[in-house]
Structure 1
Amino acid sequence: MSPALLIKDVRIFDGEDEIPSGSVLVENGLIKQVSEGSLDVSDPSTIVISKPGHTLFPGLIDSHCHAFIDEQNTTLGQSLKFGVTTLCELHHEVHNMDWFRSRAATDPDSADFKTSGLSATVAGGWPAAVIMAVHEPENAKDIMTGWADLQTKADVETYIQDRIRDKVDFIKLMHEDGNGLTVKPVVPPLEIQKTIVDLAHQHGFLTIAHALSYQGTIDILRTGVDGMTHTFVDKPITQEVIDAYKINNAHCDPTLVTIASLTKDGREEQEKYAHDPRVTKLLNSESQEHLCKCIGLANENSRAEYAYESVRQLKAAGIDIILGSDSAGAALGTAFGFSAHHEIATFVRKCGFTPAEALKSGTSLVAKRFRLNDRGRIAPGFRADLVLVEGNPLEDIDHTLDLRGVWKQGTLISAYKDLVA
């Protein structure tokens, strides 16, 4: 059993509210006590860390990534170095899931892992269309081996049973019509999408849907999905979109950083971050290279500003906006872990969020929307997934990158052993 941990004399953002100066006691991987002011303990074995001028907040939860296995453990390891303590994977091959789950469960230097497994796809749909566009035909065929092709209710029933067998955490739908893009996928029939949502809900699954277009977003929301991955890039928002979100009380993970890479509007900011020493010291060389490039699959009608304005208006209408980076091994302009910081900073700089609202979107709010009821808060009984930064990100969101310590279930990860000494 590891010794207890006391972090004191720090500003605390608990996922909801601020404590200007307080203390957090951790025992057996869980938050034991949170108090205002300094807290003293009698057990001499307790590890005590006093950090005036620093801020402690819950580990970030990235609701949208696409994992890959490499020798550097980039997906889980790099994410955790940046304080992303939980990754939600939204389309992945079944044969790799056990590797990620095992690594997350046994390695204190790897982020926790949740997954949808294989998405509810159709032949020629998303993401098959983009895979075919960027890979040689034989390589593309290998990548898509085993993907679903849902054409009938029987296909959907088999697909849901397979996801139950795989013990997935949620169901991901794809509804991409290609409006605003340079590729044109096959679009699943809405009656099939409705069947997927209904059967998934019958089995207690959260349903999350991909769409990058205005009309695709409205259409898939009307099937009853619980949330959207992405906002749209091809048109300005209207009341019709807001009403479609309100019907289901759906959330939005807008992936603004990925959208800015899609349209190339984000290149300048990506390159700035790619040369920020706070970022580069935690990135491998390939991730740093990716930050300097753009996906560039949007057509001439698409604008990142459409996405930013949609988030402004959705937020003003009371729609929950949550953190999701869409980080992936091949997603230019993104990097595991870092892009979560970039995304919440974009909420503040482009969409009118306060820093506290942005931090909430990546902690307690995403935990609530993804039914991760044991994390996302600094409160008694919650997982001790914690991030320590120098400065005050509640005044300047940029301080989330001034990382000084990351704990997963109360264990300090190895990248910060010297920083908190």
Structure 2
Amino acid sequence: MGEKIIKLPDVGEGVAEAELVEWHVKVGDIVQEDMVLAAVMTGKATVEIPSPVEGEVTFRHGEIGDVIATGTVILKIRTPGDDGDSDVEPHIAAPQPEKAPEVTPLVVEPKQQPVAEKPKPVTEAASAKPAATSLPKGAGAPRAEGEKPLAPPAVRLRAKEAGVDLRQVPGSGPAGRITHEDLDAFLSRESGGAAAAGLQPNKSVQEVKVVGLRRRIAEKMALAKSRIPHITYVEEVDMTALEELRGRLNGNQKPGKPKLTILPFLMRAMVKAIAEQPGINAHFDDEAGVIRQFGGVHIGIAAQTPSGLVVPVVKHAEARDIFDCAREVTRLSDAAKSGTAQREELSGSTITISSLGAMGGIVSTPVINHPEVAIIGVNKMAIRPHWDGTQFVPRRMMNLSSSFDHRVIDGWDAATFVQRLKALLETPALIFVEE
């Protein structure tokens, strides 16, 4: 018998450590050659570690969420054959993009209630004896079957809302009249009223470890909010004309042309506005004190996936027409949601759009995608009354909630940029005019 020692391999990209996100084996398992043993994550790529040998797992190091240095022993496998130990760094495939893991709902099993014993037959002699109760002093016994309880309307309403049968509540008032105090005492004996209503307090606490993509998101958001002083500017936009144009273009859609949403129009409007304010399309390296303005407009589209938020990037939007933008947004969104997006498709953005569609609310405060300096937030569209100077008319209105890095973007510049977007979206023909 021999023993193979498996170390965390160099997963490439020059990184010295990786996060352990999955274990596929435990001590005592029998593994086959090339069987996946574990998965580690670096950046937004997950790397599977296969077994180089056949044998039994005798040692496993690390828990889900641990960050492990390259070269650390993570597994030992007892193998048939030659004696002696040997170190093995398994051959791994090129890093693959993070797949959206299945999300398992957290289910708290209710505490099992004890089974009540079958009541014993009551003898005639026993039934003649009054039952002992722990009622408050002066309280009368619960009334007999069919006897109508005496209680004021307010007490009856409270009892009805709590699901309490007043025939079971002893009354301490004259002629057994039930008071608020009697009802409170009854509810107190019934576990604060929850049991009487058929409800039980749930005191369980479920701990969910933050690992994998969720940890990356948390780190990214913490970095952005701790290092970037945000200024958020909100403006409403009349989308009526654009929606009419979009409807006509989709209605006359030719084969092979993608369906247009508002995003391609916004992307093309951003390209034109950025040409006038190139400082918006930039990264701020705050450690080096350098602003890097980019000629290419690479627009990140924040997309929600089963595993969390990812940002696929439409590269060189300045070189794409409106249909090409739509086609690329659809392709990248589908790839992100299915977990097949490549690393280069999830990085390299110079400015980001955040849109929750119909869930967008009236106003939002989007968080800038560090190290970018701006993010454009799209809120939901709704028909609202709009004053045209003489009367109120129904118009399709939508708010843009946009955040800027106040270290390098002044409030005036932020407002100028958003106002330019507003003008382009409200008069969509301007988006197609080459200047």
TM-score scaled by length of structure 2: 0.22
Between structures 1 and 2, the one with greater strand share: 2
TM-score scaled by length of structure 1: 0.23
Larger Rg: 2
Structure with the larger RCO, 1 or 2 (CA within 8 Å, 6+ apart): 1
